[in-house]
Structure 1
Amino acid sequence: MRKYIKTGLLMLTLVFPVLIYLFLKVFTTNHYDLPYFVPLRDVANNAIVQSNGDTTFYQIQDFSLKTADGSTISTASLQGKTIVISTVSSPCADTCKEVLSQLARVQSLHQAYPAFFVLTLVSEDNPQLISSIKESREVEEAWKIATVPDSAFSLILQDVFRLSEKVPGLQTISPQARLSLVDDAGFIRGFYDTTDPEEVDRLMAEIRILEHNRKQD
């Protein structure tokens, strides 16, 4: 009798962890959710809250821009993509060079995640700067360059991509030194200081999180 009890306990010891693993695998989904940024606000500057209590957040608005490679990029181009938004301006001094150096690191994730790319906004009257970016990138699909008319640059930067948004911890960081992370639904999921390598490391980790979560959904 004791032999059967011992055998039963041994089987239970071996099988129980497997059952737990299968339960977690089948019935649960492990997510690390990133926060959302830029809540929509009413005329009194209060965040707009839905009837279920959820805050309504900004999604990238309709836009259409030419690229330095002769094509067009628009809101439709961003659907289903994970994107890092940046901007650089001339003269390309120390901050600009640091931004390009860090973006060269970030673009490498495109190889593992084909639905990810970097989008850099540049004045259309800046061919020298555009050439510098092209020299830094690996492939066109990993790093796209959108050319923006000077007359619309500030509007596009703030009203469409929100790179000038007031973000805690980044108030003193210029838009040229910022990066933003946009998910596949057009929501902004993070802002980062390009001049801080640790911030760029965090960005790259959070890109992986978004891509991992999307594959699980």
Structure 2
Amino acid sequence: MAKRVGTDPTYGFSINPWAMLFLVVVAIGSYYLANHNWGGGGSERLPKFYPVGTSANERDTIYQRIPSFTLTNQQGREVHISKYDSLDAIYLIHAFELHAGLVPACEEAARRLAEVSSKYEVLRMLSLVLDTVAVPVDTLQELAARLGAEAPKWSLLSGDPAYMRTVVQNGLHISIRTDSSGLQVAPRWVLIDRMGVIRGRYEDCAPEEMDRLTNELPDLLSEYQAYRP
């Protein structure tokens, strides 16, 4: 007797080709969803720092987002960062103390990063300037002029000292200590994605760290399909 098309001779059941196609599509789709970040528009290549828990289904790790803060820039305008909304940019953030200013290596690194950031529309720089009192706007303007920092692309920010220390230490994980010469802020840059999560940490303004930063930037920017070479 002729064998029926679509029947498995071993088990005697029919194989529906459309059902097989559906299963293949589901398998491919499941793999894609598991390995891509739909919210960002691409696969994640950079790590995320500072996990704080897991989602309700315990499948996804939740990471700390930088705190909301409002500070004043060199134009005398308030700059507001909110952890409750997706940010309007990707940020490179660091902090330094006013009395010491930027050491030559960090000043050179900042200028280099400013040149790099000019290539990317969504990338902005924030320099948090700390002192024992809120730094006056005219002082921020003088610093900005020396560094070539133009807001909003590169904002120098200041505000209440205690408030800023909380943001810098607890939110950005940049250490601050006080000694006989005053505040001492660790020379660290942090890279923040659009969800406010820290995706990169770069120490000491060392050339090799700045090389690593510039090499990793396109990886983060490509997650959002928002970069331009």
TM-score normalised over the length of structure 1: 0.69
Query: 1:150, CA displacement in angstroms?
Result: 2.0
4+ aligned runs moved over 6 Å, structure 1: 27-30
Aligned identity (percent) is 21
Q: Is the 8 A contact 1:82 1:207 kept in 2?
A: no
Which protein has the bigger helix share?
A: 1
Name the CA distance, whole Å, in 2 between partners of 1:135 and 1:75: 25
Partner of 1:65: 71
Pick the aligned partner of 2:115 from 108, 113, 126. Answer: 108
1:89-168 equivalent positions in 2, closer than 5 A: 89-92=97-100, 96-123=103-130, 124-125=134-135, 128=139, 131-164=142-175
* Per-residue deviation, 1:82: 0.9
The residue number in structure 1 matching 2:206 is 196
Q: Write the deviation string for residues 175-199 of structure 1: whole angstroms up to 9, x where unpaired.
A: 4310100011111001101331111
Contact conserved, 1:180 with 1:191, CA < 8 A, in 2?
A: yes
Are the aligned partners of 1:58 and 1:187 in contact in 2 as well (CA < 8 Å)? Answer: yes
- In the aligned structure 2, how far is the partner of 1:158 from the partner of 1:39? 16
Q: Which one-letter code corresponds to 1:38 in the other structure?
A: Y
CA distance in 1, matches of 2:125, 2:71: 15
Aligned equivalents of 2:73 and 2:86: distance in 1?
A: 14
Aligned-CA RMSD value: 2.8
Summarize deviations over 1:26-45 as a string: whole Å, max 9, x none.
Answer: x99874610000111xxxxx
Aligned residues: 174
Which blocks of at least 5 consecutive residues in structure 2 are unaligned?
Answer: 1-31, 37-41, 177-183
Q: Does structure 1 retain, via aligned residues, the 8 Å contact 2:74–2:144?
A: no
CA distance in 2, matches of 1:65, 1:175: 18
Structure ranking higher in strand proportion: 2
Q: Which 5+ residue runs of structure 1 have no aligned equivalent?
A: 1-26, 41-47, 166-173
Q: Is the 8 A contact 2:144 2:150 kept in 1?
A: no
For the structure 1 residues 154 and 38, does the alpha-carbon distance in structure 2 shift closer, same or farther, using more than 3 Å as the test? same
Change (3 A) 1:109 1:195: closer
- Correspondence for 2:54: 49
SS in 2 for 1:122: strand
